[in-house]
């Protein structure tokens, strides 16, 4: 009697996720061109790039390592909620 395990699934890259993050990243730059009300500096763009990269990485990890759709949705929701919490704190200081 032999026991075999299912083969490890290969990592699947989701380019649409990263394209949406890049489009979201471009909105402040477009806002700076169109209006004087949006004033982002280099550190703001760097922080947003880091936040979006961490969010997309967490979503990719949830899609790759979590087995059932219920766990995947939960992992993605957790990543999005953490992103929104950190983003809101950096934007207006909700924890002050």
pLDDT in tens, 7-53: 566 667 889 999 999 999 999 999 999 999 989 999 999 999 999 99
Average pLDDT over the chain reads: 88
* pTM metric for this prediction: 0.80
Across the range 72-93, mean pLDDT stands at: 93
Query: How many CB atoms neighbour CB 38 within 10 A?
Result: 14
Q: How far apart are CA 47 and CA 71, in angstroms?
A: 28
Residue ranges per structural domain of the chain = 41-96
pLDDT at 2 over 90: no
- Extract long-range pairs of 33-40: CB within 8 Å, 24+ residues apart: none
Judge whether 81 and 75 are in contact, CB under 8 Å. no
């Amino acid at each position: 009697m032999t026991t075999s395990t299912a083969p490890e699934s290969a990592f699947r890259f989701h380019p649409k996720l990263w394209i949406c993050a890049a489009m979201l990243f471009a909105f402040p730059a477009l806002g700076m061109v169109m209006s004087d009300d949006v004033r982002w500096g280099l550190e703001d763009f760097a922080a947003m790039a880091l936040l979006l990269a961490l969010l997309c990485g967490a979503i990719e990890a949830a899609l790759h390592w979590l087995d059932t759709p219920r766990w995947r949705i939960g992992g993605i929701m957790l990543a999005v909620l953490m992103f929104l919490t950190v983003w809101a704190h950096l934007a207006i200081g909700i924890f002050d």
